[in-house]
């Protein structure tokens, strides 16, 4: 049957643009539909780091011998095998070739910037020069050289199916555009409070502390539109939550080493300088709430630093204490009373910590003494609540197979429906693999979805 386009891509973030290129480069006619007035979505705002193994940039950085097998083993182990192995495997296998593809398109990655972006021992985080914005610029520019059509300011409101329940078009209000296949690349649902409550209750639990750092268009439309045509979802309660003291909307993802983090009882439970990829999860295990403890001397000495320009700085901290946002007391026992902790536990925790500081070693959690670790002995003492509440990305989404086909509950694909990027739920476990672990799969599965959708259309009767 004749259709307007072979492939329609819904959403123009990294996943959507990579999908459009993937499809277009196999000869398919492509339309990209974007709800916003510009292309790019959250991908434009993002650091755009790409988590990949076995790249030429790693080799140039002297990292030899890394490969898809090692990445797969680390990914699966870190997530206790609670992710879809076939989808993870495809990501690992395609991470390096797709990375090289992106690099050859014109995105620059410097060997000296490759870093250990997660909790693994191998450096797999590849930050692009110019961040996510540059990636979008390059992909968009490439599409400009091909005959790919774009419609902006147009929020897709429904999918059209034929008599065999195959996807054959999209709806925007009363308008319909027909196609052989649709690729859903609408991003996550971080900006949709209702969907956060439904699919990511850990994020919603932080109440009005919760805020999302990406595009307001991250409304989870891919999930809603997919479910309307029978798609299954995967990855409940997954995503990345960053820790905040809730003072304001400042994106500061690490805690300074000079404070002590305790749970509701008043006991330390982690290295305060743990990577942002694990810090939020550790606090979740303590009930979603922790407290940062410090003393007057630490507060006074808290200068703006690369870790914090806003939250953990002397004067703002004093102002917050004056406002009552930070508890203040002359003794640790009194401070414990103010935050509902056990005075004996808090005093014991600080006594042990202070003794460790004197010896220059964190004997329990191995915090690096050079991180600013110091004994807390000068009253008044302070305590302020911490919550994992900044939503970076969401991990619940459409369930796909390793060929990016969207699956129904009965394991059969929804014919003609493909998905890539944050709208997919099959890839993320309880623990974020590391910086680049969301953007990388967006590019990998975006390109793959484009190729797969175009191939599907070529084989339609």
Stretch that binds ligand FAD, among 107-115, 367-375, 421-429, 448-456 (CB under 6 A): 421-429
Q: How far apart are CA 255 and CA 269, in angstroms?
A: 14
422 binds ligand FAD (CB under 6 A): yes
The per-residue DSSP string of 232-245 comes to -EE-TT-EEEEEE-
Query: Which residue, 52 or 336, is less far from ligand FAD as judged by CB?
Result: 52
Query: Which residue, 43 or 98, is less far from ligand FAD as judged by CB?
Result: 43
429 binds ligand FAD (CB under 6 A): no
Query: Which residue, 199 or 439, is less far from ligand FAD as judged by CB?
Result: 439
Q: Of 8, 9, 10, 71, which lies in the binding site for ligand FAD, with binding defined by CB under 6 A?
A: 10
252 binds ligand FAD (CB under 6 A): no
Which residues are within 8 A (CB) of 220 and not within 5 positions of it... i.e. 6 or more apart? 186, 188, 189, 192, 195, 199, 394, 423
Query: Which residue, 182 or 206, is less far from ligand FAD as judged by CB?
Result: 182
Taking a C-beta distance cutoff of 8 angstroms, is the pair 143, 29 a contact? Answer: no
245 binds ligand FAD (CB under 6 A): no
Q: Provide the minimum distance between the beta carbon of 250 and ligand FAD in the complex, in angstroms, as a whole number.
A: 13
Size of the site for ligand FAD (CB under 6 A): 44
- In the beta sheet, which residues pair with residue 128? 109
428 binds ligand FAD (CB under 6 A): no
105 binds ligand FAD (CB under 6 A): no
Rounded to the nearest 5 percent, the helix, strand and coil shares of the chain are 35, 20, 45
According to CB under 6 A, which residues from 132 to 191 bind ligand FAD? 132, 155-156, 185-187
346 binds ligand FAD (CB under 6 A): no
3-state secondary structure 66-134: CCHHHHHHHHHHHCCCCCCHHHHHHHHHHHHHHHHHHHHHCCCECHHHCECCCCCCCCCEECECCHHHH
Query: Which residue, 150 or 393, is less far from ligand FAD as judged by CB?
Result: 393
Please state whether the peptide bond connecting residue 380 to the residue before it is cis, i.e. omega within 30 degrees of 0. Answer: yes
Taking a C-beta distance cutoff of 8 angstroms, is the pair 425, 394 a contact? Answer: no
436 binds ligand FAD (CB under 6 A): yes
According to CB under 6 A, which residues from 75 to 104 bind ligand FAD? none
Which residue's beta carbon is nearest to the bound ligand FAD?
A: 13
Taking a C-beta distance cutoff of 8 angstroms, is the pair 35, 156 a contact? Answer: yes
Residues that bind ligand FAD (CB under 6 A): 10-16, 33-36, 41-43, 45-49, 132, 155-156, 185-187, 213-215, 217-219, 221, 392-393, 421-423, 435-440, 442
């Amino acid at each position: 049957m004749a259709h307007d386009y072979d492939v329609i891509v819904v959403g123009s973030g990294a996943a959507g643009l990579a999908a459009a290129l993937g499809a277009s480069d196999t000869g398919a006619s492509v339309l990209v539909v974007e709800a916003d007035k510009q292309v790019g979505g959250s991908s434009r705002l993002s650091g755009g780091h790409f988590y990949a193994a076995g790249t030429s940039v790693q080799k140039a950085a002297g990292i030899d011998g890394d490969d898809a097998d090692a990445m797969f083993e680390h990914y699966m182990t870190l997530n206790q095998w609670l992710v879809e192995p076939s989808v993870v495997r495809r990501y690992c296998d395609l991470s390096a070739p797709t990375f090289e593809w992106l690099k050859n398109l014109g995105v620059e990655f410097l060997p000296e910037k490759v870093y250990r972006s997660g909790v693994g021992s191998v450096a797999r985080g590849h930050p692009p020069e110019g961040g996510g914005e540059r990636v979008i610029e390059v992909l968009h520019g490439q599409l400009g050289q091909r005959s790919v059509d774009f419609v902006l300011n147009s929020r897709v409101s429904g999918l059209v199916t034929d008599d065999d329940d195959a996807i054959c078009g999209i709806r925007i209000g009363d308008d319909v555009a027909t196609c052989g296949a649709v690729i859903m690349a609408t991003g996550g649902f971080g900006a949709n409070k209702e969907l956060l409550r439904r699919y990511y209750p850990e994020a919603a639990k932080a109440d009005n502390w919760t805020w999302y750092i990406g595009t307001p268009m991250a409304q989870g439309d891919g999930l809603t539109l997919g479910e309307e045509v029978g798609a299954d979802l995967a990855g409940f309660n997954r995503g990345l939550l960053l820790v905040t003291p809730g003072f304001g909307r400042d994106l500061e993802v690490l805690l300074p080493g000079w404070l002590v983090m305790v749970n509701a009882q008043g006991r330390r439970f982690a290295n305060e300088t743990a990577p942002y990829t694990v810090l939020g999860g550790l606090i979740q295990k303590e009930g979603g709430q922790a407290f940062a403890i410090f003393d007057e001397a630490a507060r006074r000495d808290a200068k703006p630093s690369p870790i914090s320009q806003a939250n953990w700085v002397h004067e703002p901290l004093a102002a917050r204490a004056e406002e009552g946002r930070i508890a203040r007391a002359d003794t640790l026992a009194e401070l414990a009373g103010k935050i509902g902790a056990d005075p004996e536990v808090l005093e014991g925790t600080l006594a042990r910590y202070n003794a460790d500081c004197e010896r220059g070693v964190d004997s329990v959690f191995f915090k690096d003494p050079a991180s600013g670790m110091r004994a807390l002995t000068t009253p008044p003492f302070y305590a302020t609540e911490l919550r994992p509440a900044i939503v970076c990305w969401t991990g619940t989404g459409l369930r796909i197979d390793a060929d990016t086909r969207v699956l129904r509950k009965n394991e059969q694909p929804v014919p003609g429906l493909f998905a890539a990027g944050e709208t997919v739920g099959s890839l993320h476990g309880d623990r974020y693999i590391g910086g680049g672990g969301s953007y990388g799969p967006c590019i990998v599965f975006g390109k793959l979805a484009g190729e797969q959708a175009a191939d599907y259309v070529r084989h339609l009767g």
